[in-house]
Amino acid sequence: MLVLGGSAGSFKHIFDAVRIFPGTLNKAVLIIIHRKKNFFSEIENLFAENSRMFLREVSDKDAINKNTIYIAPANYHTLIESKHSFGLDVSEAVWYSKPSIDVSFECAAEVFKDKCTAVLFSGANQDGARGLLSLRNNGALTIAQDPEEAEMPEMPQAAIRMNAAEYILKTEEILALFNT
Protein backbone atom coordinates (compact mmCIF):
# COMPACT_ATOMS: atom_id res chain seq x y z
CA MET A 1 0.00 0.00 0.00
CA LEU A 2 1.04 3.54 -0.70
CA VAL A 3 -0.27 6.38 1.47
CA LEU A 4 0.12 10.05 0.64
CA GLY A 5 -0.74 12.85 3.04
CA GLY A 6 -0.68 16.59 2.65
CA SER A 7 -2.36 19.84 3.50
CA ALA A 8 -1.89 23.41 2.36
CA GLY A 9 0.49 23.54 -0.59
CA SER A 10 0.41 19.81 -1.24
CA PHE A 11 -2.26 19.65 -3.90
CA LYS A 12 -0.09 20.24 -6.95
CA HIS A 13 2.54 17.72 -5.83
CA ILE A 14 -0.04 15.04 -5.11
CA PHE A 15 -1.74 15.85 -8.40
CA ASP A 16 1.59 15.32 -10.19
CA ALA A 17 1.95 11.97 -8.46
CA VAL A 18 -1.58 10.93 -9.49
CA ARG A 19 -0.79 11.84 -13.10
CA ILE A 20 2.44 9.87 -13.16
CA PHE A 21 1.25 6.60 -11.56
CA PRO A 22 1.18 3.85 -14.20
CA GLY A 23 -2.09 1.93 -14.54
CA THR A 24 -0.16 -1.12 -13.39
CA LEU A 25 1.39 0.31 -10.23
CA ASN A 26 0.29 -2.91 -8.51
CA LYS A 27 -0.46 -1.09 -5.26
CA ALA A 28 -3.48 0.44 -3.61
CA VAL A 29 -3.00 4.17 -3.03
CA LEU A 30 -4.70 6.14 -0.25
CA ILE A 31 -4.60 9.94 -0.43
CA ILE A 32 -5.43 12.08 2.57
CA ILE A 33 -5.63 15.82 1.83
CA HIS A 34 -7.06 18.19 4.40
CA ARG A 35 -10.22 19.79 3.14
CA LYS A 36 -13.23 21.70 4.24
CA LYS A 37 -16.55 19.97 4.79
CA ASN A 38 -19.68 20.93 2.84
CA PHE A 39 -17.87 22.12 -0.23
CA PHE A 40 -18.18 19.64 -3.02
CA SER A 41 -14.67 19.47 -4.22
CA GLU A 42 -13.50 18.85 -7.72
CA ILE A 43 -10.53 16.82 -6.49
CA GLU A 44 -12.05 13.44 -7.38
CA ASN A 45 -13.03 14.51 -10.87
CA LEU A 46 -9.77 16.23 -11.56
CA PHE A 47 -7.76 13.27 -10.29
CA ALA A 48 -9.91 10.73 -12.13
CA GLU A 49 -9.60 12.54 -15.42
CA ASN A 50 -5.84 12.65 -15.12
CA SER A 51 -5.03 9.23 -13.75
CA ARG A 52 -4.46 5.87 -15.35
CA MET A 53 -5.61 4.12 -12.19
CA PHE A 54 -9.17 3.60 -10.92
CA LEU A 55 -10.18 6.26 -8.47
CA ARG A 56 -12.85 6.54 -5.80
CA GLU A 57 -13.69 8.36 -2.60
CA VAL A 58 -13.69 5.94 0.33
CA SER A 59 -17.10 4.70 1.54
CA ASP A 60 -17.88 2.53 4.55
CA LYS A 61 -16.14 -0.91 4.36
CA ASP A 62 -14.84 -0.38 0.82
CA ALA A 63 -12.55 -3.15 -0.42
CA ILE A 64 -8.88 -2.24 -0.80
CA ASN A 65 -7.93 -3.12 -4.37
CA LYS A 66 -4.66 -2.80 -6.21
CA ASN A 67 -4.26 -0.24 -8.97
CA THR A 68 -6.89 1.95 -7.35
CA ILE A 69 -6.50 5.38 -5.82
CA TYR A 70 -8.69 6.04 -2.78
CA ILE A 71 -9.41 9.54 -1.55
CA ALA A 72 -10.23 10.13 2.13
CA PRO A 73 -13.65 11.88 2.27
CA ALA A 74 -14.13 15.21 4.08
CA ASN A 75 -15.56 15.21 7.62
CA TYR A 76 -14.59 11.55 8.31
CA HIS A 77 -11.39 9.87 9.38
CA THR A 78 -10.38 7.08 7.03
CA LEU A 79 -9.37 3.94 8.93
CA ILE A 80 -8.02 0.63 7.67
CA GLU A 81 -9.98 -2.33 9.03
CA SER A 82 -7.77 -5.03 7.54
CA LYS A 83 -5.54 -5.59 4.51
CA HIS A 84 -8.77 -5.95 2.57
CA SER A 85 -11.04 -3.12 3.69
CA PHE A 86 -11.31 0.47 4.82
CA GLY A 87 -13.43 1.86 7.64
CA LEU A 88 -14.70 5.35 8.46
CA ASP A 89 -15.13 7.22 11.70
CA VAL A 90 -16.61 10.63 12.59
CA SER A 91 -14.77 11.01 15.91
CA GLU A 92 -13.03 14.15 17.12
CA ALA A 93 -10.81 16.08 14.71
CA VAL A 94 -7.06 15.55 15.14
CA TRP A 95 -4.94 18.69 14.78
CA TYR A 96 -8.21 20.42 13.82
CA SER A 97 -8.36 18.07 10.85
CA LYS A 98 -10.91 15.54 9.68
CA PRO A 99 -9.68 13.64 7.69
CA SER A 100 -6.56 13.41 9.79
CA ILE A 101 -3.38 12.10 8.21
CA ASP A 102 -2.15 10.81 11.59
CA VAL A 103 -5.21 8.59 11.94
CA SER A 104 -4.86 6.96 8.51
CA PHE A 105 -1.07 6.63 8.80
CA GLU A 106 -1.39 4.97 12.22
CA CYS A 107 -3.95 2.50 10.85
CA ALA A 108 -1.69 1.75 7.88
CA ALA A 109 1.21 1.12 10.26
CA GLU A 110 -0.89 -1.25 12.35
CA VAL A 111 -2.26 -3.23 9.40
CA PHE A 112 0.40 -3.10 6.68
CA LYS A 113 3.57 -2.75 8.82
CA ASP A 114 6.55 -2.92 6.43
CA LYS A 115 4.34 -3.55 3.39
CA CYS A 116 3.71 0.13 3.06
CA THR A 117 5.26 3.31 1.69
CA ALA A 118 4.21 6.71 2.97
CA VAL A 119 4.90 10.26 1.85
CA LEU A 120 4.12 13.39 3.85
CA PHE A 121 3.90 16.55 1.76
CA SER A 122 3.57 20.24 2.46
CA GLY A 123 1.22 21.50 5.18
CA ALA A 124 0.78 24.16 7.81
CA ASN A 125 0.27 22.01 10.90
CA GLN A 126 1.75 18.89 12.47
CA ASP A 127 -0.84 16.35 11.40
CA GLY A 128 0.84 13.31 9.85
CA ALA A 129 4.17 13.52 11.66
CA ARG A 130 3.23 11.15 14.49
CA GLY A 131 1.57 8.77 12.05
CA LEU A 132 4.67 8.76 9.87
CA LEU A 133 6.70 7.85 12.94
CA SER A 134 4.44 4.86 13.70
CA LEU A 135 4.87 3.76 10.11
CA ARG A 136 8.62 4.02 10.37
CA ASN A 137 8.62 2.14 13.69
CA ASN A 138 6.65 -0.62 11.99
CA GLY A 139 9.14 -0.96 9.18
CA ALA A 140 7.37 1.03 6.46
CA LEU A 141 9.33 3.14 3.99
CA THR A 142 8.73 6.76 5.05
CA ILE A 143 9.42 9.88 3.05
CA ALA A 144 8.99 13.55 3.88
CA GLN A 145 8.92 16.20 1.21
CA ASP A 146 12.00 18.39 1.44
CA PRO A 147 10.86 21.37 3.57
CA GLU A 148 13.06 23.60 1.41
CA GLU A 149 10.75 22.88 -1.49
CA ALA A 150 7.46 22.71 0.41
CA GLU A 151 5.23 25.77 0.26
CA MET A 152 4.26 25.13 3.89
CA PRO A 153 7.26 23.40 5.46
CA GLU A 154 5.79 22.85 8.94
CA MET A 155 4.28 19.42 8.28
CA PRO A 156 7.30 17.64 6.76
CA GLN A 157 9.52 19.56 9.17
CA ALA A 158 7.60 18.19 12.17
CA ALA A 159 8.07 14.66 10.82
CA ILE A 160 11.77 15.20 10.29
CA ARG A 161 12.16 16.58 13.82
CA MET A 162 10.60 13.39 15.20
CA ASN A 163 12.94 11.34 13.08
CA ALA A 164 9.92 9.87 11.31
CA ALA A 165 11.24 10.22 7.77
CA GLU A 166 13.73 7.73 6.42
CA TYR A 167 14.17 9.87 3.31
CA ILE A 168 13.81 13.57 2.70
CA LEU A 169 13.21 14.12 -0.98
CA LYS A 170 12.06 16.70 -3.50
CA THR A 171 8.81 15.98 -5.37
CA GLU A 172 10.76 15.21 -8.55
CA GLU A 173 12.74 12.51 -6.75
CA ILE A 174 9.59 11.12 -5.13
CA LEU A 175 7.86 10.93 -8.50
CA ALA A 176 10.87 9.17 -10.01
CA LEU A 177 10.39 6.41 -7.41
CA PHE A 178 6.81 5.78 -8.55
CA ASN A 179 7.63 5.86 -12.18
CA THR A 180 9.99 2.90 -12.11
Partner 1 sequence: MHAQSDINIQQITELIGLIKKLYGFDFANYSKASLRRRIIRIMQLQKLPFYDLKHQLVNSREFFQTFLEEITVNVTEMFRDPSFYQALNNQIIPYLSSYQHSKIWCAGCSSGEEAYSLAILLNEAGLRKKSFIYGTDINTEVLNEARKGIYSLRKIKSYAENYQMAGLSGSIIDHFTILYDAASIHNELKQNTLFSVHNLVSDSVFNEFQLICCRNVFIYFENALQEHVLELFYNSLAPLGFLCLGTKETIRSESFRKKFKTINQKENIYQKIGS
Where does this chain bind partner 1 (CB under 8 A)?
A: 38, 58-61, 73, 75-76, 79-81, 87-92, 103, 107, 110-111
Q: Residue 173: what are its φ and ψ, rounded to 5°?
A: -70, -35
Contacts of 82 (CB under 8 A, 6+ apart): 111
Question: Catalytic residue at 34?
Answer: yes
Of these residues, 34, 62, 122, 146, which one is catalytic? 34
* Rounded Cα–Cα distance for residues 176 and 180 (Å): 7
Of these residues, 62, 102, 127, 146, which one is catalytic? 127
> In terms of CB distance, is 37 or 148 closer to partner 1?
37
Provide the 10 A C-beta neighbour count for residue 89: 14
> In terms of CB distance, is 17 or 109 closer to partner 1?
109
Question: Catalytic residue at 13?
Answer: no
> In terms of CB distance, is 13 or 130 closer to partner 1?
130
The single-letter DSSP state of residue 152 is: S
Which residues are catalytically annotated? 7, 34, 127
